[in-house]
Chains A and B, each alone.
Chain A
Amino acid sequence: MEELIQNLKHEIIESLNLEDMTPDQIESDTPLFVEGLGLDSIDALELIVLLEKKYGLKIDTAEEGKKVLYSVRTMAENIIRHRNQ
């Protein structure tokens, strides 16, 4: 889990071009959107592509997206759940 979280942080930085940021600056539990990291709806779409491409995790609805992409930890949890299915 922790390894996956670290990997995800790297991938988020890379795919969203967060050039000034290091993985340590992203807290595993803080919300990624609006108040937390300040990401927006376009970033959410980018992360949806990332999750499906890299981890085979498909997000079909906006509601589901909100839950899965809430924080790095929720992303990791959903990936693990998907793997175990």
Chain B
Amino acid sequence: MSESRVFITGTGIISAVGNNADEVFQALKTETSGIGRISLLETVHCDDLPAGEIKLSNRQLREIAGLPSGIPCSRTGLLGLIAARQALRQAKIDDMDACRTGLISGTTAGGMDRSEVFYRSFMDDHRRGRLRDVVTHDCGESTERIADGLSVRDYVATISTACSSSANSILYGSRLLKSGILDRVIVGGTEALTLFTLNGFNSLLILDRNVCRPFDRDRNGLNLGEGAAFLVLESERIALTVPERILCEVTGYGNACDAYHQTASSPEGHGAWLSMKKALETAKLQPDDIDYINAHGTGTQNNDLSEGIAIERLFESGIPLCSSTKSYTGHTLGAAGATEAVICVLTLANQIVFPNLNFNNRMEELHFSPVTTCRRDMRLNHVMSNSFGFGGNNTTIILSGYSHEDLH
């Protein structure tokens, strides 16, 4: 029996550049960044650390998500629920019991946005702090909130591999479909902006005090963002029942560990090279086949150099078009891989490569520059998306265009 192909039939996204795929597409096309002053998260850093914040309060998000006010829910859960519902709508799924359906979500801090409110009271008096603020702490809680909202019953999983979490959701979901364990799986990730992550990254001195400049010679760190993105993956058999829904195909994925340092990437980008290489192997593609790379490109000194070197090593002289869209969304951590996968779906669907903002000068160590203006009317078949995390958890996904003529 041959392995099933894996098709994407729906996407959903909420991020600093838009509350759904259409809005995100408009922002990307018009080169409008969502990074700016923090106004909702209460932090002493609101004036010195810009971020990609979604300008909707938890109450507003709750309304959009259609969640009654009595149910405790973290911002992470709300964002995830909104994006996942969009994905289901686009895939035209209303019957969850029609086939074996799962939900896989990636997140790094889970419901930390509520836990830090709880902890402030709890710390000095252990009898204090509202329990409803801490029952949503663990990562799995947000996934179950989403699963219950969508009525997913057959399989649930949550992945936390730092900044590659939701790229690994896509990878794991694809494998579950290929092996026939599931027929349909909603994969993605969700992450709210929190004091915990903002201050954590700040303590590492890798946050840019201005908007980030991925791959620029003078880049000076990353900006955090928040958001959620989900994709509906279907096995060949299920997707082809209503083939018009097929947006594109997950053809490749690779996961490797840099195993160099707890936070830093290796100077030669070994883990990054390996994950890209493995993704090409599963897709049965050659480096030449890749038309565009949505880079991890955080804007830190270390990542962009290491990733750039790995790209040069793998693609040699034939480096594809490349950009980092974190200059729009900020780095959404656990949601980054899925956010960028949805952007790649938009790239393929519209045959447009979105540029890397704020780029001025090429890095001395590299021989290529990212795309800096919108490239339209492209002929893109295969696009690659990189997501690299702390601890060297690196994952690469390859999406490929799907021609409806293939069917006939």
Contact = CB atoms under 8 A, between A and B. Distances in A.
Interface stretch (A4-12, A24-32, A38-46, A75-83): A38-46
A42 B301 CA distance: 15
| Main SS at interface, chain A | helix
Contact of B203 (A40, A41, A45, A62): A45
B262 A42 contact: yes
13 contacts: A40-B261, A41-B261, A41-B263, A41-B264, A42-B262, A42-B263, A45-B203, A45-B204, A45-B205, A48-B205, A49-B203, A62-B205, A62-B301
Contacts of A48: 205
Interface of B: 203-205, 261-264, 301
Contacts of A45: 203-205
Contacts of A42: 262-263
A49 B203 CA distance: 9
Contacts of A62: 205, 301
A13 B262 CA distance: 20
B238 to A, nearest CB: 47
A62 B205 CA distance: 9
B105 to A, nearest CB: 29
Contacts of B301: 62
A42 B391 CA distance: 13
Sort A-B residue pairs by CB-CB distance and give the 5 closest, nearest first: A41-B264, A45-B204, A45-B205, A42-B263, A42-B262
Nearest to A40: B261
A26 B143 CA distance: 49
B61 to A, nearest CB: 34
Contacts, number: 13
Contacts of B264: 41
| Main SS at interface, chain B | loop
Interface range on chain A (Cβ under 8 Å from partner)? under 10
A67 to B, nearest CB: 16
A45 B262 CA distance: 13
A51 B261 CA distance: 24
A49 B261 CA distance: 21
Nearest to B301: A62
Nearest to B262: A42
Given A41-B264, A45-B205, 11 more contacts: A40-B261, A41-B261, A41-B263, A42-B262, A42-B263, A45-B203, A45-B204, A48-B205, A49-B203, A62-B205, A62-B301
Contacts of A49: 203
Contacts of B263: 41-42
A15 to B, nearest CB: 14
A48 B205 CA distance: 10
A42 B203 CA distance: 10
A62 B302 CA distance: 12
Interface in A29-69: 40-42, 45, 48-49, 62
Nearest to A65: B205
Contacts of B261: 40-41
The residue in A40, A41, A49 that gathers the most chain B C-beta atoms within 10 A of its C-beta is A41
Nearest to A60: B205
A85 to B, nearest CB: 23
A47 to B, nearest CB: 12
A40 B204 CA distance: 13
A45 B263 CA distance: 12
A36 B205 CA distance: 24
B263 to A, nearest CB: 7
A52 to B, nearest CB: 12
A51 to B, nearest CB: 13
The residue in B204, B205, B263 that gathers the most chain A C-beta atoms within 10 A of its C-beta is B205
Contacts of A40: 261
B261 to A, nearest CB: 7
A48 B301 CA distance: 19
Nearest to B203: A45
A33 B261 CA distance: 15
A32 to B, nearest CB: 17
Contacts of B262: 42
B315 to A, nearest CB: 29
